[in-house]
Amino acid sequence: MTMSWITLLCNRNPDLPIRFTQPELCDPNVIQYSGYLDINSKDVHYFFWFFESKKIEYAPFTLWLNGGPGCSSLVVYLPGQVLPAGTGFSYGTRTINRTEDGAYYVYECLQLFFEMFPQYRKHPFHMFGESYAGRFVSEYY
């Protein structure tokens, strides 16, 4: 089975496309986007899986991060997840070796996501994490 990708280009920077599909995991009535936030010039491809709340008018936009090398945030299934390159399904030749260096990429990915899906910008933003992601959250928020 081949996956059909939708690719959108960022208006402020064409080097930042987003590739995604709309899976129907668990509940086909829930809006889902799964794919990659690409930073092509850096060869960094962040995997994300977004689940819209069934009560979207009341829900905050929540970014969940996991910590530790090779850990995936997918086991949690919270509304928005981004995985650093080299962990989970994210990939690229330019991995990040310091927490502080990852802030730029997380910021760019969030900006790209909200540009491509502006309907979620108005929601309160929350960032959570477990394990070493507690360090990410305090550095990136």
| Among 133, 71, 140, CA closest to 102 | 140
* Model pLDDT, residue 95: 67
Q: How far, rounded to the nearest angstrom, does the alpha carbon of residue 13 sit from its chain's CA centroid?
A: 18
pLDDT in tens, 71-87: 555 544 444 455 555 55
Kindly state the tokens that stand for 44: 């960094």
CB atoms within 10 A of CB 62: 17
Q: What is the pLDDT of residue 125?
A: 92
pLDDT (tens digit, 9 = 90+) per residue, 24-69? 877 888 898 888 888 877 788 888 888 888 888 888 998 888 766 5
pLDDT exceeds 90 at position 124: yes
Q: What pLDDT, on a 0 to 100 scale, did the predictor assign at position 79?
A: 45
* First-last CA distance in the chain: 39
Q: Percent of the chain scored above 90 by pLDDT?
A: 5
pLDDT the model gives residue 77: 44
Model's pTM, two decimal places? 0.76
pLDDT at 120 over 50: yes
